[in-house]
Structure 1
Amino acid sequence: MLSAKTEYACLALARLASEYAGGQPLQGRRIAAEEGIPEGFLVQILQELKRLGLVTSTRGACGGYRLAREPEELSLGEVIDLVDGPPTGASNVTTPTPLGEAVTEAISESALAERERLRGVTLAEITAQATAHGAMFYI
């Protein structure tokens, strides 16, 4: 499970990817309002994403944030790796037993497989999927 910070970072980047073709920066408060992210928390996240080189920012009335790279070049797995760090095989058990080590290994292998899968999912694919879902009408 992702932390709220990481999930919001992925969501903010996906929103920036969806607006990327327009060429204009997107204000943080707009991202917060449209995606239901607490604005103060989002500001901190966007600052970290800027420090990590994932977004650029422009000051002023028409300022805001943009992706630093093309949406096709940035994957969810890479974002999670940068924000959370690589998955670890760390255990919370202070005195590991063979059973505990087996459980930790299984969980670690699962986390690695999940992250590898997410490295294959680009922000462009996420925005295309969202657009396809938005085009569906439910009765």
Structure 2
Amino acid sequence: MKLRFLGKNSTPGDSPTLYATDRDSYVVQGWKIFANDLLMQLDVPHGHTAVEVPTELFEHLTKDGLPSGEIKDFSAPIVIRTGEGTCVVQGPVMRDLEALSQMRLPDYEDCIEVPRSAILNLLEEKSGPDHQRPA
């Protein structure tokens, strides 16, 4: 899998990053979740993981030709929206060695691959009840 860097929201020591792939998907690199209050809210299937990223990370989607990176529907693959301006994104654990070799992945971070269609759904305003599940 080939990655194309879209952007990152980082401070020294932190590096949530967003990549586009050559497989019509995105790779979301974020912090591993250690906070018990978040872990207790998660039901992570075997072979999947969850990472926490700033919601602003998705603003880099505009570099992939999307008109906006503003998340309007907080639903899967985003499973939790925290009160600290971050969200928890869940998906299959990244195991592609070619992709991993293109990334700098510190021990306290992990990454997942998310279909482009799932991300596009998050950018659309949904009518009806509020879909966000606060932390």
Whether TM-score is above 0.5 comes out as: no
TM-score category, normalised to shorter length: 0.3 to 0.5
Please identify which structure carries the higher strand content.
2
Report which of the two structures shows the higher radius of gyration computed on alpha carbons: 1
- Bigger fraction of residues in helix: 1
Give TM-score, length-normalised by structure 2.
0.32
Length-normalised TM-score, structure 1: 0.31
